[in-house]
């Protein structure tokens, strides 16, 4: 029986690199180290102890957020896909014997960037870098949202009422360790009769290249349509706007008219919308980029 060795793994990586064109281009075009000074802001704090594992490299974690947004994955799905897919490992320069961040680590990193107020500027810089290398947004924009599950909170009814009112339960102040373990920003939502607790990633994606042009994180209870104004790019006048049935509303239709965008939203999905409208291209935005 043939025994697989290091060179077999390297050969597999090389084969996959030839197919993972988009991810290869990102690593060639983007100097990820340019993002480090901004990312290091969340590490500029004194550690109480040197015990335990060292935190993951900030650039490595930022690239995970980029992957997550490009492929519209939840934190749990992201953890699995990094473990399972050689193309993701190659993009992250992750070896088989190295540790993969779990979903909690991914959530915590994104939360730290959000609290530091740097996540939006980071994604804007990422977009500008792409545009400078010939990946300017073309053909139109797709807006979608993904639920990112968070650890469910075991709170009392009174505690939940205080959290919704923007208050901190008094019992938590008396026990600082309990307060640190509580997530007061996550909310419940229901999709296809399934209850979920956590956040939503709202993204605006370029039709041609499938790259993100805008990004917003909210609690899961915020309806998809409420974030359109924040992540819509009105400068792309005359281009097509794609979204699923969650974005069907008179208010959004008026917003698109004012922005001069072609409304390609349809209650029955992307492809039927494109076929039904003479203005919209007959393609499926959910298909992977070439």
pLDDT tens by residue, the chain, 290 residues: 445 444 455 555 554 454 456 788 788 888 999 999 999 998 876 555 566 678 899 999 999 998 887 777 888 889 999 998 888 998 999 988 899 999 999 989 998 998 899 988 898 888 788 778 766 555 578 888 888 877 777 777 777 777 777 777 766 665 556 666 677 777 888 887 888 888 888 888 877 666 777 778 888 889 988 899 888 877 666 678 888 888 888 889 888 888 888 888 865 544 444 433 445 755 444 444 43
- For 234-266, the pLDDT digits (tens) are 766 667 888 888 888 888 988 888 888 888 886
Residue 290 confidence (pLDDT): 36
Residue 34 confidence (pLDDT): 93
Q: Do 205 and 130 form a contact (C-beta atoms < 8 A)?
A: no
pTM of the model: 0.56
Q: What are phi and psi of 228, to 5 degrees?
A: -55, -45
Say how many C-beta atoms besides its own lie within 10 A of residue 205's C-beta.
Answer: 25
What is the C-alpha separation between 236 and 232, in angstroms, rounded? Answer: 9
Q: Which residue is it, tokens 């994606």?
A: 205
Residue 50 confidence (pLDDT): 60
Q: Do 234 and 143 form a contact (C-beta atoms < 8 A)?
A: no
Say how many C-beta atoms besides its own lie within 10 A of residue 123's C-beta.
Answer: 21
Residue 7 confidence (pLDDT): 46
Residue 6 confidence (pLDDT): 45
Q: What DSSP element (H or E) covers 195?
A: strand 194-206
Residue 137 confidence (pLDDT): 52
Residue 61 confidence (pLDDT): 96
Q: Do 212 and 127 form a contact (C-beta atoms < 8 A)?
A: yes
Residue 135 confidence (pLDDT): 67
In the DSSP assignment, the letter for residue 54 is P
CATH of 137-149+202-290, one of 3.40.50.300, 3.30.565.10, 3.30.420.10, 1.10.10.10: 3.30.420.10
Helix, strand, coil in percent for the chain, rounding step 5: 50, 15, 40
User: Residues spanned by CATH 3.30.420.10 within the chain?
Assistant: 137-149+202-290
Task: Say if residue 185 is exposed, middle or buried (CB neighbours under 10 Å; 0-12, 13-18, 19+).
Answer: middle
Residue 270 confidence (pLDDT): 44
Task: Say if residue 192 is exposed, middle or buried (CB neighbours under 10 Å; 0-12, 13-18, 19+).
Answer: exposed
Task: Tell me the C-alpha to C-alpha distance, in Å, between residue 150 and each of 184, 202, 265.
Answer: 11, 16, 30
């Amino acid at each position: 029986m043939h025994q697989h060795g290091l060179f077999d793994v390297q050969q597999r990586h090389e084969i996959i690199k030839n197919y993972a064109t988009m991810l290869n281009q990102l690593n060639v075009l983007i100097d990820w180290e340019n993002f480090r000074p901004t990312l290091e802001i969340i590490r500029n704090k004194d550690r109480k102890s040197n015990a335990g594992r060292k935190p993951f490299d900030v650039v490595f974690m930022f690239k995970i957020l980029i992957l997550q947004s490009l492929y519209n994955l939840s934190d749990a799905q992201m953890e699995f896909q990094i473990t399972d897919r050689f193309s993701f490992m190659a993009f992250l320069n992750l070896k088989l014997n190295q540790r993969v961040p779990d979903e909690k680590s991914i959530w915590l990193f994104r939360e730290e960037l959000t609290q530091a107020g740097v996540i939006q500027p980071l994604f804007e810089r990422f977009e500008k870098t792409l545009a400078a290398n010939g990946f300017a947004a073309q053909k139109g924009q797709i807006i979608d949202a993904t639920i990112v599950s968070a650890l469910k909170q075991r709170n009392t009814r009174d505690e939940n009422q205080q959290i919704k009112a923007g208050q901190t339960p008094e019992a938590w102040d008396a026990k600082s360790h309990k307060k640190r373990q509580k997530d007061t920003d996550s909310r419940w939502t229901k999709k296809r009769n399934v209850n979920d607790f956590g956040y939503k990633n709202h993204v605006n994606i370029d039709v041609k290249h499938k790259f993100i042009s805008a990004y917003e994180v909210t609690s899961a209870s915020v309806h998809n349509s409420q974030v359109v104004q924040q992540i819509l790019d009105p400068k792309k006048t005359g281009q097509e706007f794609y979204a699923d049935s969650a974005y069907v509303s008179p208010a959004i239709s008026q917003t698109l008219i004012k922005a001069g965008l072609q409304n390609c939203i349809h209650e029955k999905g992307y492809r039927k919308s494109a076929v039904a409208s003479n203005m919209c291209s007959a393609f499926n935005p959910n298909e992977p980029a070439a």
